[in-house]
Structure 1
Amino acid sequence: MSPLRFVAMGDSLTEGIGDPVADGWRGWAALLAAGLAPPGGGDTEFHNVAVSGAQTSDVLKRQLPAALELRPDIISVVVGVNDTLRCTFDIHAVAARLDQIYASCAQQGALLLTACLPDPGAMLGLPGALARPLARRQRGVNAVVHALSERYGAVHLHAAEGDWVADRGLWSADRLHPGERGHRLLAARFHALLAARGAAAGRPPSREPQLPQPTRSASIWWLATAGTGWVARRCTDLLPQLLTLAADEVRHQVRGSSARLDLIASHGVATALAALSAAEQPDAA
């Protein structure tokens, strides 16, 4: 019997950051892989090509060709947060790249897994004027992922909000990546969705962690050391633009026109998706 092939693409979330094991990182995808095939009824061949810091362009250009060469039966694409943290963010470009990625997976006959993700500004606890522009970007990416997931029949996990986002015990010291408990929860939720589709016959991943969750002092230490470096690396790219966006946010708030910014963002998502639909129908009037 041929093994069930599962290939995971994406960024640090799928690479497994926040869920340490002896030889590096494990993560939700590896935990999920163990529960796809029934015991004694076949093997699962798991490949993780996700890379920390990856954007949609990296997945399209580098990860996708490698993933498709493996002829996967199931393929996950969880990406987009890093796009929102760049000054080059363009919802039209993100939508076009995700459409190409999803379409390529579907054309090969692989069952596609996708997820919408929490807003990084809120997770980091940024001030409102700084957090709201990032939240608006993430909502836009999530709206695109929702629409395209439906178009390509993906197994889609709604992970952008809910109790799990607010439960700090599910998150690692960096506040951006799930800890072991969070990765296990993601794996279990994906497993439930796949089982409902008849695509996961093994036991669901355990939700019980094997390691203690990070202490508050560990979180503070990370923010004072590695966290500072993380922010500094992105300051050279995002911060000047983010400050401009924050100033614009404040101006609209003073004028009572903040809703206009939401409407502009929503229009951007709508036109990006409309452009993809038009490209699929070149003869349309």
Structure 2
Amino acid sequence: MTQRTSLAFLSGVGTTLAAASGAFALYRHFAGQQRAAAHDLNEKLPVHSAWWRSRYDKKGALLYVALGDSAAQGIGASSPARSYVGRLSAGIRRATHSSLRMVNLSVSGSTTWLCRKDQLPKLAEYDPDIVTVAIGANDIIDFKAESFEKNIRAIYSALPSHAIVADLPTMWLPDREKKVAEANAIVHRVAGELGLTVAPLYETTRRQGLLRTFRNSAGDLFHPNDLGYRVWASAFEPAIADRLAQIAAERA
């Protein structure tokens, strides 16, 4: 190897190491920001929960009950009112020109098993006109199809026939997408057997594309932000409109 070649080689190695060092520093900075955002969102869990509880006893011509996890709580939104449940509630009031009682039974961090255990007994206390359920995203990391189906079947079987259930949103990462596809097949099959309407959350979020999904995400890159929850609400809105038309026909 000539001296010139040796110098070029060493220069290339140095450039590669510098680039790798820069990339690692950027990754550490980005990961630190993500952890900080997740911490900030965790601090808001009791705030969102209290906001929803304060509305349980309000009177309304219609009763809307929501079941789910932190997404139904609106974690990542600037306000619970800007979550998908908040947006759907506002849309129901506008469409019906009447009052609405909102009972949000969702719990941040809930899995299908926890929803079955903690939220279903509370649902039995109400006779809701509108019910939405979006649950299962927290099952994906440790996904077991058999237990997931058992829990989904128990949840869906306890719902009124007019309930609207959502499939899981896109998660983009290949290993998670494989599990989401299996979970959503279960959601659609069980909902079909029981005659429940499925809100197409997966298809709706997938259509946003990867870059727009990033733009629609909160700082922890897991929960939606205000824009993301607007997308989530749009997945439910056609089924909500059908349910309101059904209620109007029944009351007429």
Fold match, TM over 0.5? yes
**Aligned residue identity for 1:82:** N
1:190 to 236, 245, 248: 236
The equivalent of 2:179 in structure 1 is: 137
Matched length: 185
SS at match of 1:35: helix
**Deviation at residue 63 of structure 1 after TM alignment:** 0.7
Deviation above 3 Å: which 4+ runs of structure 1?
37-41
Cα RMSD, aligned residues only: 2.4
Q: TM-score, normalised by structure 2?
A: 0.65
Cα distance change on mapping 1:157 and 1:39 into 2, 3 Å: closer
The equivalent of 1:214 in structure 2 is: none
**Aligned residue identity for 2:166:** A
Cα distance change on mapping 1:40 and 1:95 into 2, 3 Å: closer
| 1:153-186 deviation per Cα after TM superposition (whole angstroms, max 9, x unaligned) | 3231222243225212222222211110111222
Question: In 2, Cα distance between the equivalents of 1:33 and 1:2?
Answer: 12
Q: Report the structure, 1 or 2, having the larger helix content.
A: 2
**Aligned residue identity for 2:192:** E
Cα distance change on mapping 1:181 and 1:2 into 2, 3 Å: closer
**Deviation at residue 133 of structure 1 after TM alignment:** 3.4
8 Å contact from structure 1 (residues 15, 51) kept in 2 = yes
Question: In 1, Cα distance between the equivalents of 2:215 and 2:247?
Answer: 27
The equivalent of 2:149 in structure 1 is: 95
**Deviation at residue 70 of structure 1 after TM alignment:** 2.1
Question: In 2, Cα distance between the equivalents of 1:133 and 1:185?
Answer: 24
**Deviation at residue 20 of structure 1 after TM alignment:** 2.0
The equivalent of 1:260 in structure 2 is: none
The equivalent of 2:61 in structure 1 is: 3
Gaps of 5+ in 2: 1-58
Question: In 1, Cα distance between the equivalents of 2:240 and 2:180?
Answer: 25
1:13 to 60, 68, 71: 71
**Aligned residue identity for 1:57:** W
2:129 to 63, 67, 73: 73
Cα distance change on mapping 1:78 and 1:165 into 2, 3 Å: farther
Q: Report the more deviating stretch, 142-151 or 166-175.
A: 166-175
Question: In 2, Cα distance between the equivalents of 1:140 and 1:133?
Answer: 11
Cα distance change on mapping 1:4 and 1:14 into 2, 3 Å: same
SS at match of 1:20: coil
Cα distance change on mapping 1:2 and 1:163 into 2, 3 Å: closer
2:202 equivalent to 1:146:
no
